[in-house]
Structure 1
């Protein structure tokens, strides 16, 4: 017997919900439970709960329950993305049962559905799939244009580009010949040369029309002369974050490394890399890193270094030892910078002839660019809780201990990070742009 269309659609959309929750909230554990209430059959709802570590969504007679560790409750952004996912899927399900929507909104089912989740998150207003495009749909369209651009090249060079999408109908000159920002523009060769996404971006109206080409730094300084954003952000994109601070505007950039970065509310919020979206929640994760390190100047400088290294696609390992005495168990004597300089002609001095440049230095007197150069060396950069440099470019020793055998299958940098995490807080930067924090255990990924 054939399944009723509505039943088949409900099964499909329930699976889409589970897939989206697992992807965007990967750190959570998902459980399914039959619901006895009828209110959750056709309309997705988020059930209130007093437990900050529990999130419950009800749909099609099933309760989707998400749990996270007690020490790391759900953040405001995680709750917001869950709500956005639910609203998009619920609206999409309702639209397939509405002939008027299907007849006028063929675009609703084009592109990646994950882009709609991101658009609904950024718009913040309840998502509705009506006969007219809303702002969330237009943001998803902008993302799709940049994704198409990422598949192209111009004169054998990878393309980078970007847009600043206005969040309200602010007064701005509109040319009579203004065109919609959409995929047809990607067929125009000059489209790829007009803005690079890093210095210049296209200005898009809330109605989706291409209004102008602007300098993003100039735009940011118009809004915030000091560009004083509070959320950590890669240095090359501070102006993009600042251009959205205190506004409903959204900046979306296809970076030279072919990563799509999304800025809103003064922060880097999402990134699309390695063929999937990542909710970054950078500010909440910085707070956890700060708590692990215990010193704001040290935590801030190393976190910024990690963000910049990740943006440059350079690997790094940054370690803050809880007890400087543990350095003897982790760092080979020849790599130690906190020990007296060897005598002239000593074999140790001959093997490490440039150590004299770093010996006795602290993070406070090391410039950001110099710190990045140190972090780019093969091996780990190690400091203590006072910021004193203990090692740079050091291959960490792996003390034998319980659980060591379980790390054999991991890469060398991951194994070293897990080992160092037993002695202090660690930031591991991978060449694919991911940052992982360890402190006895893996705390988070960006």
Structure 2
């Protein structure tokens, strides 16, 4: 495909190769094949799979945590090559969610890595690759994971926590630490900031829109002009979320319903939900000059009371503070 020799692919492959190595053919080939797969559909569904690359396969196999993963050898003398995903079994049997091919620098297929307890990992864990954290901690040379997902995009996770996302033929960089550090500086504890970012990434991956405000003070909240739904029953449902923590709502999975039901969800720095489904009053001074869609205008207005985190339906995550856009990540 044309993107195989694209400048973006070369840059990403060279980054994944690392300074010590001279050959970036294998990383580039992996990127190209996973990109090609992301553009395919089979029986109406997107084709997905995943590759774990290691430059030190012997160390990888020796150090792999057998309580978390199974590594099944494949009786195959060939190598990972062009058109590897040309037949359905290659991506149906190894889906890039709970199973991944392990490939070394010589393109040898070491085996199929399977997660032993896939139900132990939530959508939030998977959005930030927590289900493969132990793999990145092996210190088996250069290691990265490349997957094709249900949105027809490619995600590459590196050992240093950096995510690279290929979408619409372009690469973008997503560093979870940027938002985590910003929230910590704002006053959140590390565990809560980390959970919120995994939540944002999960909603982005699902291609839902949402707007979350972390207020500076529980006593100063944005003025509401109404609520989403407009019925007494909707109002009653909205009250169910009040007083719960983000952690509790994530464990019950209701946080997805709370955030993606439209409107503004407000929490304090301890992660307690103060309100949900609010329509922000945009009639204040200076708000009429804000451009963009309704969610962007609401995010700017809400950010005057704290940190507003907006997820767009097509993936990007934007952070606003004091009326300004301070972080934007394409996903």
* Band the TM-score falls in, shorter-chain normalisation: 0.7 to 0.9
Aligned alpha-carbon RMSD (Å):
3.2
1:432 and 1:251 map into 2 onto residues whose CA distance is 23
Q: Give, in angstroms, the shift of residue 185 of structure 1.
A: 2.1
Q: Give, in angstroms, the shift of residue 389 of structure 1.
A: 2.3
1:268 and 1:320 map into 2 onto residues whose CA distance is 25
Q: Give, in angstroms, the shift of residue 234 of structure 1.
A: 4.2
Aligned position for 1:316: 210
- For residue 138 of structure 1, the aligned residue among 26, 30, 47 is 26
2:261 corresponds to 1:377: yes
1:52-76 per-residue CA deviation (whole Å, 9 max, x = no partner) reads xxxxxxxxxxxxxxxxxxxxxxxxx
Do 1:233 and 1:304's aligned partners in 2 also have CA atoms closer than 8 Å?
yes
2:175 corresponds to 1:281: yes
Aligned position for 1:239: 131
Describe the SS at the equivalent of 2:84.
helix
Q: How does 1:240-259 map to 2 (within 5 A)?
A: 240-247=132-139, 248-259=142-153
Aligned position for 1:424: 306
Aligned position for 1:82: none
**TM-score of the aligned structures, taking structure 1 as reference length:** 0.62
Describe the SS at the equivalent of 1:324.
coil
1:274 and 1:366 map into 2 onto residues whose CA distance is 33
**TM-score of the aligned structures, taking structure 2 as reference length:** 0.81
Aligned position for 2:58: 170
Do 1:330 and 1:399's aligned partners in 2 also have CA atoms closer than 8 Å?
no
Do 1:322 and 1:384's aligned partners in 2 also have CA atoms closer than 8 Å?
yes
Q: Give, in angstroms, the shift of residue 421 of structure 1.
A: 1.1
Question: Cα gap change, 1:192/1:396 in structure 2, threshold over 3 Å: closer, same or farther?
Answer: same
Q: How does 1:19-418 map to 2 (within 5 A)?
A: 110-126=4-20, 128=22, 134=23, 136-170=24-58, 177-215=76-114, 217-218=115-116, 234-235=126-127, 237-247=129-139, 248-265=142-159, 267-327=161-221, 329-332=222-225, 335=227, 352-363=235-246, 365-368=248-251, 369-402=253-286, 404-408=287-291, 410-418=292-300
Aligned position for 1:33: none
Question: Cα gap change, 1:113/1:421 in structure 2, threshold over 3 Å: closer, same or farther?
Answer: same
Describe the SS at the equivalent of 1:393.
strand
- Which has the higher Rg, Structure 1 or Structure 2? 1
Relative CO higher for 1 or 2, CA cutoff 8 Å, sep ≥ 6? 2
Q: Give, in angstroms, the shift of residue 170 of structure 1.
A: 1.9
Do 2:310 and 2:319's aligned partners in 1 also have CA atoms closer than 8 Å?
yes
Q: Give, in angstroms, the shift of residue 137 of structure 1.
A: 2.3
Do 2:282 and 2:288's aligned partners in 1 also have CA atoms closer than 8 Å?
no
Question: Cα gap change, 1:126/1:399 in structure 2, threshold over 3 Å: closer, same or farther?
Answer: farther
Long gaps (5+) in structure 1: 1-106, 129-133, 221-225, 337-346
2:176 and 2:81 map into 1 onto residues whose CA distance is 30
Q: Give, in angstroms, the shift of residue 397 of structure 1.
A: 1.5
Long gaps (5+) in structure 2: 62-71
Q: How many residue pairs end up in the alignment? A: 309
The runs of at least 4 aligned residues of structure 1 exceeding 4 Å deviation read: 171-177, 232-236, 347-351
2:175 and 2:194 map into 1 onto residues whose CA distance is 16
More strand by share: 2
Question: Cα gap change, 1:209/1:322 in structure 2, threshold over 3 Å: closer, same or farther?
Answer: same
Q: Give, in angstroms, the shift of residue 121 of structure 1.
A: 1.5
Q: Give, in angstroms, the shift of residue 294 of structure 1.
A: 3.5
Q: Give, in angstroms, the shift of residue 434 of structure 1.
A: 1.6
